[in-house]
Structure 1
Amino acid sequence: MNTIKLDERLERIESLLLAQKKVLTIEEACDYTGMSRSYLYKLTSTGAIPHCKPSGKLIYFDIDLL
């Protein structure tokens, strides 16, 4: 197989794994939505998207609400 097909398969596998999760970290949410990290932070600070910070630092997102 060539590199392009392997990359496509890897991306498909990663997206399937993300779809099975219910809660995403900021990095996973970026991959899932295609948005940049800074834009997601901006949306959370304005209250535009629901999120939680149980420990006060790390941001988590419910995949159903993204």
Structure 2
Amino acid sequence: MDEIIERLDNLQRLIESQGIYTKEVLNFNEACQYLELSQSHLYKLTSAGSIPHYKPNGKKLYFKRSELES
């Protein structure tokens, strides 16, 4: 039973990660996963203006997947 639950958890994580590759706008955590960067490194890139990002309400960071690819 534990093996089945573990496999289901792995499938769920895989399905969730696949959504990152189809979404156009990514939140901060999704961008970290997509770019395979740590949170601290991505924060450094955004604060230095080295990576395009958006803060529509002045709090949360968002990224366009197409801009991250280029």
Q: TM-score, normalised by structure 2?
A: 0.75
- Counting aligned pairs with the same residue, the percent is 48
Query: Unaligned 5+ residue runs, structure 1?
Result: none
RMSD: 1.7
Give the Cα separation in 1 of the matches to 2:12 and 2:35. 17
Aligned partner of 1:33 in structure 2 is 35
Shift of 1:11: 4.8
Show the 5 A alignment for 1:7-26. 7=10, 9-26=11-28
Unaligned runs of 5+ in 2: none
Equivalents in 1 of 2:27, 2:19: separation in Å? 14
Q: Which portions of structure 1, spanning 4 or more consecutive aligned residues, are displaced by more than 3 angstroms?
A: 9-12
Measured in 2, the distance between the counterparts of 1:11 and 1:32 equals 14
Match of 1:65 among 38, 43, 67: 67
Residue 55 of structure 1, aligned match among 54, 57, 60: 57
SS in 2 for 1:20: coil
Of structures 1 and 2, the larger Rg is shown by 2
- Give the length in aligned residue pairs: 64
